[in-house]
Chain A
Amino acid sequence: MAYSDRVIDHYNNPRNVGQLDKTSTEVGTGLVGAPECGDVMRLQIRVNPETQVIEEARFKTFGCGSAIASSSLATEWIKGRTVDDALGIKNTDIVKELSLPPVKIHCSVLAEDAIRAAIGDWKKKNGVGEMAETATATAR
């Protein structure tokens, strides 16, 4: 099956590969994996504490071309957004942008999960929205 041009572009020229200082309070780290294929994805954000804007985003993904493209695109999209705004990004947006075939949809799900995990980590570090999270945890 052929990859779309957008996937190939991100695969050949991945945006924002690398890492941020995990120990910094301004940095949130999301590490997620897909059990089906063994892909693992780390996505990090550096959030401006004043404005809550994601100023930097980095990723490192071990996986197929679609997984790399999905995380590359995700870092591009979240940069410059506020954390709340970034949470609005859906995996279906990534699917559309990259024209992912059905068997590769899980790659986009992984990228969305990575964004959520990174923001979740940042919130936990900074005590943001903890009340809400405990509430959903007990509701489950």
Chain B
Amino acid sequence: MLKVLDSAVPIACWSCSIGHNDFTLFCPHCSKIQPPPGCDYFSVFGMEPRLSLDLPALEAEFHRLSRKLHPDRFARALENEKQWSLADTALLNDAYRTLKDPLRRTEYLLKLEGAEIGEEHSGKNRVDPSRVPADLLEEVFELNMQLEEMRAARKMGEEDLELQASLTQAKQKFQGLLEIVDKDLRAEWTAWDDGGQAARPAAQNKMVALLDRRRYLSNLLRDVNETLGD
């Protein structure tokens, strides 16, 4: 999606005219700043797309590039270079924010691989029923009923302690389920990172399903927390 240019096709540096891959913020030959590259976020940091990232290395590279791109350094540069330093910095910030967060990174990589995540996939195609966490539906529905009851009681100025206890219990249960989802996601990260090309489609499908489940659970927990007033 974001790979505008094929990595095999070199583009010429605006300054020294030597061709380089469109993967870099600075020309590898003359070190001049380049316009925002049309590459994916991993390539911005010179990394292979992976789910288990070396976060300290990512952070170090982010700081290094941020310093190199800082607009102050381009105060006396050409107008184009000034603008590119801003545009490149924006790209770098977006890339860093996306990659350092485990969930955003997973979603981003899945999108790179062509998966449709979240609301995006629902409008165009019918949702595959197997993606709905059907085992949770009954409990989710019941929990929503309790939440509604509790809010209604609150409005009347009442506190239903029994209901509150049951919600607290539900909250713990759903938190536990969320932890399991996160553990399963990490297992799929490993499968995707180390399993080779053959293992990737299956891992991707599992991750898309896990992310759906996670979204479901975290929305519920948010509602429970709001109602419980935590």
Contact = CB atoms under 8 A, between A and B. Distances in A.
B137 interface: yes
Interface in B109-165: 118-119, 121-123, 126-127, 129, 131-134, 136-138, 140-141, 144-145, 148
Contact of A33 (B118, B126, B148, B216): B216
A90 to B, nearest CB: 11
Contacts of A109: 122, 126-127
Contacts of B123: 102-103, 105-106
Contacts of B138: 31
A92 to B, nearest CB: 11
A114 to B, nearest CB: 11
A32 B119 contact: no
Interface in B55-83: none
A33 B119 contact: no
B137 A36 contact: no
Contact of B141 (A62, A103, A106): A62
B215 interface: yes
Classify the interface of chain A: helix, strand, loop or mixed. Answer: mixed
B133 A40 contact: no
Contacts of B127: 34-36, 106, 109
A109 B126 CA distance: 7
Nearest to B217: A38
Interface size class on chain A is: 10 to 19
Contacts of A40: 137, 140-141, 144
B213 interface: yes
Nearest to A31: B137
B167 to A, nearest CB: 15
B197 interface: no
B220 interface: yes
Interface of B: 118-119, 121-123, 126-127, 129, 131-134, 136-138, 140-141, 144-145, 148, 212-213, 215-216, 219-220
